[in-house]
Amino acid sequence: MHVSIVEFRLQEMDDAGYSQLCDELGPTFAAVPGLVSKVWLHGEGGARGGVYLWEDKAAYEAFLASDLARAVASHPNFAELTMRDYAVDEAPTRVTRGVPTAVG
């Protein structure tokens, strides 16, 4: 398993516009090969992001090479975008129910 955490700040887009964009992109992300789950994050003052759980690092790397990842990274309303990449320590994560049952 692999996790990536994306953070960015909205610029020149209000909550309604972002909500509509998320509704449009949800099915696209749901169809990404190797993506187990995506948690959409909504912080204060335009802070947004996502936590992505991948089947493995290869799925994460394939996503990085995709048109979808390039579109997100270059979106004109997403400022200060960062993405961090982590391997999952699976044994203790299972103990704390951090892996969805269908996967683990």
User: Is it true that domain 2-95 has CATH number 3.40.50.300?
Assistant: no
pLDDT at 94: 87
Residue 3: beta bridge partners?
A: 53, 86
Closest by CA to 29, choosing from 85, 71, 78, 76, is: 71
Q: How far is the C-alpha of 46 from the C-alpha of 63, rounded, in Å? A: 25
Local confidence band at 104 (pLDDT 50, 70, 90 cut-offs): very low
Q: Residue 101 is encoded by which pair of tokens?
A: 């049952």
pLDDT at 39 over 70: yes
Instruction: Report the chain's mean pLDDT, rounded to a whole number.
Output: 93
Can you spell out the DSSP letters for 2-15?
A: EEEEEEEEE-S--H
Six token digits for residue 78: 């997403």
Indicate if the pLDDT at residue 102 is higher than 60: no
Q: What is the pLDDT of residue 38?
A: 96
Secondary structure of 46-71 in HEC code, one letter for each residue: HEEEEEEEECCHHHHHHHHCCHHHHH
Residues 6+ apart with CB under 8 A from 42: 48
pLDDT at residue number 78 = 96
